[in-house]
Structure 1
Amino acid sequence: MITLHDASNLAHRLGRQAEAVCRHYLSVGHREGHYWVVGDVRNTPGRSMFVRLEDSPKGPAGKWVDAATGEHGDLIDVIRESCGLLRFKEIADEARAFLSMPLPGPTPAAVRQPAPPHRSPVAARRLFDMSRPIAGTLVQLYLRERGITDLRGTGNLRFHPRCYYRPDEHSPIEIWPAMIAAVTDLDGRISGVHRTWLDPTRRDKAPIDTPRRAMGDLLGNAVRFGIGGEVLAAGEGIETVLSIRQVLPDMPMLAALSAAHLAAIHFPDTLRRLYILRDDDSAGDRARDRLVERANAAGIESIVISPQLGDFNEDLCTLGLDALRRGARLQIGPQEMGRFMA
């Protein structure tokens, strides 16, 4: 259990290395005299936040104030906000790691009632709740650039204007806008989220090493569009699934987020016919074969729909909507033509 004394001790030890802390967690700022100057506690460029780097009659090193918002705090707060951490144990562990201090052993209470990890379904639901609907946001513009304009049934997609991104545990936090997608189980409960970080200047994915990441409980679950019944279409990527949905807007679909997860999706009890939206690569072929095998074993009819190019979003962007519609019409069953096709 972490006490107030522990927090005070950590803040004091961080203050003795205030400039090093600022260079690591507030990396876009710079030193000016006895202060570190940065935009805000979330490591945004600017000049409104001042961190005291040395003890003085005005206060100890590590104390900071944001002149624009009136926020103030110590270096514990800097670590919390710049890393996007939610629980104090996580913040303390991060501070100790920076200071190379040993981590405390677990207490009996902590063993009996472990708190959820930062990447747990609880944290995923919290991130989704903090985001807002995509109408009129950068997410809508991003999807439009990918040829996706019919957004009916996409309530599980949201927009977060300042989503934390950290390339690795040794790198500073970056902040980018992001598309947040809810990953749900068969009962509609959010078990995770998928983040696609975006570049607002290009209306494309952000220029970072891994612009797509998922968190939470993913295996068997998916990003769902529409309510699954007797018929369901399943593919890998969100943009791929939304692309084919432009010509089959009423067909329930899901995005499993990877080939491996596509092969492992859970089947609704009501499912009788599964359309497999295949990506044209070796991983897509393996996922297709495994999913066909599982569907057959469960007594579910499986029909594979293949793109003309690499995936259905490439078909949509390169060949156009009419070509995508013609390709889908040739591959779906006649019983679905009038029911689902626009």
Structure 2
Amino acid sequence: MSGSPHDLACRLADQAEAVSRRYLSNGRREGHYWLVGDVRNTPGRSLFVRLRDSTNGPAGKWTDAATGEHGDLLDVIREVLGLADFRDVAAEARSFLALPRPGPEQISATPAIASVPAGSADAARRLVAITQPISGTIAETYLRNRGITALHGTDSLRFHPGCYYRPDLHAPTEIWPAMIAIVTDPGGRLTGAHRTWLDPDGFDAIRLGKAPIDTPRRAMGDLIGNAVRFGGPGDVVAAGEGIETVLSLRCVLPGMAMAAALSAAHLAALLFPGTLHRLYIVRDNDPAGDGARDRLIERAEAVGIEAIVLSPALGDFNEDLRTLGIDALRAGTRVQLAPQDVGRFLASAT
């Protein structure tokens, strides 16, 4: 079937050098490889495309040594041209290969193989599958620039060097680096993902390191009741809205399990793990935060879970951390904890 992803990828691999010259024009051939900066045709030598079969792998496969990304030549076409729909990728590949358009049966079959609904949990799983750990990336730098240094146990945070961003349905797709947060249910099943697009030029006091776009944060998938989780389920959990807010509190409570629900509405609807006995509600200091606090207290107490509110001195706990410092954050948190949790969870000053 000339329109199937596997068949198109194989045909492109047979002409790997011609494909590379066309779509990765900023690179050059060295031996049996085509070298370029990345899969979006940036000048450099980090990414290599195999131009012929070898013991290291088949022709047409590429790997970016800097990011760990890998794929085939269909991925090259998608990334270079910024195509979101596989139909468009396949059409471009067929055009390059001078293949006829597929018949009706092939057209109807291809989306079932390659497409998932935009914004769905399946789309979130696909996105997460092509990410990498944040260690050594600008996602780690972004968090550290916001004062967050307790990054142990943050496997739920990932990094994508070129994540698609579309301002609206009619605007062209842009590409920005992004921190990807994995959203899970209380049992640990992936249900969604949250994207924070980042500014590759660094940190500033206005955007705090987020990309200069209208909506640098977006979520996808099934979010209601679920959260970005740090630490396994336990008898004590702290839950708040934002990832940075929760991670800031974690700097002084490094052993406490925490969950970021991503918004006030989602925090109010958070599902409780069966092991939970005491819930710390990490509120933002605004009307939406007050509403989430009240609703979550009501729901927790209805099922016998003790609910304790942790309030910031300023707008949220990340603002406290950045403005007042970690010692003030530690002191402000200490007086709000249950006495039995001070020795158990509160990190001592060093």
Q: TM-score, normalised by structure 2?
A: 0.70
Could you tell me which residue of structure 1 aligns to residue 86 of structure 2? 88
Displacement of 1:179 after TM fit? 0.4
**Residues in 1 aligned to 2:187 and 2:309: alpha-carbon distance in whole angstroms:** 26
- Aligned partners of 2:196 and 2:216 also within 8 Å: yes
Q: Percentage identity across aligned positions?
A: 60
Could you tell me which residue of structure 2 aligns to residue 260 of structure 1? 265
- Aligned partners of 1:183 and 1:224 also within 8 Å: yes
Could you tell me which residue of structure 1 aligns to residue 187 of structure 2? 187
1:273 aligns with 2:273: no
Aligned residue pairs, count: 278
Could you tell me which residue of structure 2 aligns to residue 222 of structure 1? 227
**Residues in 2 aligned to 1:300 and 1:144: alpha-carbon distance in whole angstroms:** 34
**Residues in 2 aligned to 1:248 and 1:281: alpha-carbon distance in whole angstroms:** 23
Displacement of 1:270 after TM fit? 1.3
Could you tell me which residue of structure 2 aligns to residue 119 of structure 1? 119
Could you tell me which residue of structure 1 aligns to residue 164 of structure 2? 164
Displacement of 1:116 after TM fit? 3.4
Alpha carbons of 1:227 and 1:202: their partners in 2 closer, same or farther (altered >3 Å)? same
User: For 1:199, what is the secondary structure of its paired residue?
Assistant: coil
Could you tell me which residue of structure 2 aligns to residue 173 of structure 1? 173
**Residues in 1 aligned to 2:108 and 2:344: alpha-carbon distance in whole angstroms:** 58
1:234 aligns with 2:235: no
What does the per-residue CA deviation read over 1:225-257, in whole Å, with 9 as the maximum and x for residues that have no partner? 001211110000000000000000000000000
Gaps of 5+ in 2: 6-22, 24-35, 44-71, 92-103, 204-208
Displacement of 1:195 after TM fit? 0.6
1:314 aligns with 2:319: yes
Gaps of 5+ in 1: 8-25, 27-38, 47-71, 94-103
**Residues in 2 aligned to 1:77 and 1:177: alpha-carbon distance in whole angstroms:** 17
- Aligned partners of 1:263 and 1:288 also within 8 Å: yes
**Residues in 2 aligned to 1:132 and 1:73: alpha-carbon distance in whole angstroms:** 20
**Residues in 2 aligned to 1:129 and 1:42: alpha-carbon distance in whole angstroms:** 17
Displacement of 1:293 after TM fit? 0.7
Could you tell me which residue of structure 2 aligns to residue 248 of structure 1? 253
Could you tell me which residue of structure 2 aligns to residue 336 of structure 1? 341
CA RMSD in angstroms, aligned pairs only = 3.6
- Aligned partners of 2:40 and 2:76 also within 8 Å: no
Displacement of 1:88 after TM fit? 3.3
**Residues in 1 aligned to 2:211 and 2:87: alpha-carbon distance in whole angstroms:** 31
**Residues in 2 aligned to 1:245 and 1:5: alpha-carbon distance in whole angstroms:** 50
User: For 1:276, what is the secondary structure of its paired residue?
Assistant: strand
**Residues in 1 aligned to 2:172 and 2:108: alpha-carbon distance in whole angstroms:** 34
Within-5 A mapping of 1:94-133: 116-133=116-133
User: For 1:153, what is the secondary structure of its paired residue?
Assistant: coil
Amino acid at match of 1:334: P
User: For 1:127, what is the secondary structure of its paired residue?
Assistant: helix
Q: Return 112-121 or 332-341, whichever deviates more.
A: 112-121
Displacement of 1:118 after TM fit? 2.7
- Aligned partners of 1:296 and 1:302 also within 8 Å: yes
Q: TM-score, normalised by structure 1?
A: 0.71
Alpha carbons of 1:192 and 1:177: their partners in 2 closer, same or farther (altered >3 Å)? same
Amino acid at match of 1:180: I
**Residues in 2 aligned to 1:136 and 1:109: alpha-carbon distance in whole angstroms:** 41
